[in-house]
Structure 1
């Protein structure tokens, strides 16, 4: 009873990389690992062979190293964004998107009052409402001063005061619009980085699927070739029996 109860020892096997003991279900067999990763492990572990097993954390580490080597071969030196994607390689695409979106949301939440005001002024200055209102003010200003509705007009032709007001508005509007454009460029940069991280993560996922499919097909072809060889041997054996 004691041996079959809760006190019974669970069978464990060592990891070929770290040497720690794990339950068999938590270890990955060498035949289930892609050849490129298996070769990378063999370069570090002398006793690595077709019957070896590796734990999940060590396999994840070698997966990241394998992907990093591929990216370095294709792109050269890795950027900070590439390293962020590699660090989150075990996360899903949605997790990478959520992380980048969270960065963008935090940046937007830290906007100052001046930045928000610049965005609103630039948005209003580039709208039809501003154009129509500005035209109405100009027409009204010139009409009042030409017709002399207000005691002969406060800004007679050639509207020197109006020119001064327009110059002041243009002088203030230009830097405000530049501030807003700079903020928009920063937002666009963050969105572009977000898209790049998602696309790179999706590319790595697709490569991983291709490697897994290629590995499975190669393994199936080996089994089919073995079955065919057995069938040929059986047929040859039957032919020998008939001739004998």
Structure 2
């Protein structure tokens, strides 16, 4: 048993040596993946062994071909997901940190101004300024007010404020739209990779079940042989 556990088998694809228990027989590989392997390796037969790394590459290539058949030409997001799947990396990330990392000074100011302009603090502050302005410029307090009724200077200030605030808020809204678009692309990548991972998980479960079934058949065959020997002796 010790010698058998230390036995090393050469992978048919990469020609590297691996322990026997880690190798996968071609008989345990799903037929669609086996057909792809035959296209890439014409001399390969189901009785040949493959290492887990090579089998993972062939499975990833099969998934990529399946996506191309279903969707046509792959998009940039699809290729990024397939690349992360091949390298066994995650695609999840903190979008807020990734989006604010490249934030310019103008965009930062636009966000702060838009956040302040849409708050109750701005509304209360603006209302207080209007009341004080009209109160100070009333003839009841000043003999010669600098902006008497109908407060033409105040109207000019409000118009300038609205003219400046509108494009700043639009800049902030454009950034929010870009963030939402980035979030939707990220959600698509996560969902696509989850679907592909589940598909590969099903393939691995099928391989495991076939392997266990093969072992059970071998054990049953050994038991039948033993029963025949016992029956022959008796």
Tell me the TM-score normalised to structure 2 length.
0.79
Pick one of 63, 66, 72 that aligns with 2:68: 72
Structure 1, 163-172 or 69-78: larger mean CA deviation: 69-78
Please tell me the root mean square deviation across aligned C-alpha atoms, in Å. 3.2
Superposition deviation, residue 179 in structure 1: 1.2
Q: Gaps spanning 5+ residues in structure 2: where?
A: 1-5, 229-234
**Which residue number in structure 2 is paired with residue 32 of structure 1?**
28
Pick one of 128, 153, 176 that aligns with 2:145: 153
| Alpha-carbon distance between aligned partners in 2 of 1:219 and 1:29, rounded to the nearest angstrom | 9
| Alpha-carbon distance between aligned partners in 1 of 2:49 and 2:175, rounded to the nearest angstrom | 52
SS where residue 149 of structure 1 aligns? coil
Q: How many residues align?
A: 223
**Which residue number in structure 2 is paired with residue 23 of structure 1?**
18
Verify the 8 A CA contact 2:18 2:51 in the aligned structure 1: no
Pick one of 138, 160, 164 that aligns with 1:172: 164
Pick one of 179, 183, 186 that aligns with 1:191: 183
Q: Gaps spanning 5+ residues in structure 1: where?
A: 1-9, 232-236, 238-244
Verify the 8 A CA contact 2:13 2:50 in the aligned structure 1: yes
**Which residue number in structure 2 is paired with residue 85 of structure 1?**
81
**Which residue number in structure 1 is paired with residue 231 of structure 2?**
none
CA offsets, 1:72-102, max 9 Å, x none?
A: 1222211111111111104557x2214xx3x
Cα separation, partners in 2 of 1:180 and 1:217, compared to 1, 3 Å = same
Superposition deviation, residue 61 in structure 1: 2.0
CA offsets, 1:105-133, max 9 Å, x none?
A: 34412212111111000000111111121
Tell me the TM-score normalised to structure 1 length.
0.76
Verify the 8 A CA contact 1:35 1:215 in the aligned structure 2: no
SS where residue 89 of structure 1 aligns? helix
